[in-house]
Amino acid sequence: MKIRLSKPKFKIPEIYIYGIDVVKNFLFFTLYIVITLFAIAFIITPAIKNFKKAQKEYYEIKTQYSIIKKDYQSVLESLKRLKTENAKILAAFKRDFDVKNFKIFASKFMEIKEIKKDKTKPFKKDFIKTAYFIKAAINSPKDFYDFIDAVKNYKNVIRVYFPIDFTKNGKKIDLTLKIEHYRLKDKNALKAEEKAH
């Protein structure tokens, strides 16, 4: 004897209210909710996590930027103040040495007989120094020391080398001294030198 199993027949009950099948609509609504929850769990949630992570990084970088900007402004103000305070010195480093002008300046203190230019060579990284030998006559040692004090306010940056050779010559004193003039290298010369290295 053959036993036949029949498939159970399951039929969704049909309940209509105002012509709308309530059970089917409820099942579709439940399916919609499940799909929506699935989308939130697997698509929207990772995007929200990434957004929060990016937002946190943004605020951290913004805070660091604010701190660095504040430090930069402070340093910039300090540099501007230093530039203003040292404008005279900066201008002095940019000027070439003018022998005629120097003779006029020194004539208040001594009678210059000869200025002989010696070597020009680099000094440190950004400067050039040029040596000059001067032969002059003064009335007294005080004139020379007044000259040394006045050199500080001269329009160029000059260094007077010691010892100075003093020789008595009648009522006058002959002296031989060495000075060095310092100036900034030309920007073009600096660039050429950097390319060469």
Residues 188, 103 within the same domain: yes
CATH classification of the domain holding 125: 3.30.70.60
Q: Are residues 110 and 42 part of one domain?
A: no
- The residue out of 54, 85, 116 marking a domain boundary is 85
Q: Please tell me whether residues 58 and 112 are part of one structural domain.
A: no
Residues 43-93 pLDDT 10s: 877 888 888 999 999 999 999 999 999 999 999 999 999 888 877 777 778
- Determine, yes or no, domain membership for 63: yes
Does 136 fall in a domain? yes
User: Residue 129: is its pLDDT beyond 60?
Assistant: yes
Confidence band for 120, pLDDT divided at 50, 70 and 90 = confident
Residue 124 near residue 157, CB atoms below 8 Å: no
Going by their DSSP bridges, the two strands 20-21 and 127-138 should be labelled as unpaired
Q: Of 56, 85, 114, which residue is a domain's last?
A: 85
User: Which of 85, 105, 139 is where one domain is finished?
Assistant: 85
Assessment of whether the complete model's pTM goes beyond 0.75: no
Question: Which residue is it, tokens 């609509």?
Answer: 25
Residue 1 has pLDDT above 70, yes or no: no
Number of domains in the chain: 2
| Mean pLDDT computed over every residue of the chain | 83
Do residues 105 and 62 share a domain?
no
- Say if residue 186 is in the same domain as residue 102: yes
Q: Is residue 181 part of a domain?
A: yes
175 and 105 share one domain: yes
On the question of pLDDT at 194 being above 50, the answer is no
Percent of the chain with pLDDT over 90: 19
Q: What is the pLDDT of residue 193?
A: 45
Q: What is each CA distance from 113 to 25, 133, 138, in whole angstroms?
A: 116, 11, 11
Q: 140 in helix, strand or coil?
A: coil
Residue 165 falls inside a structural domain: yes
Are residues 104 and 186 part of one domain?
A: yes
Question: DSSP of 33-73, one letter per residue?
Answer: HHHHHHHIIIIIHHHHHHHHHHHHHHHHHHHHHHHHHHHHH
Q: Which domain holds residue 39?
A: 13-85
Quick one: 101 and 81 in the same domain? no
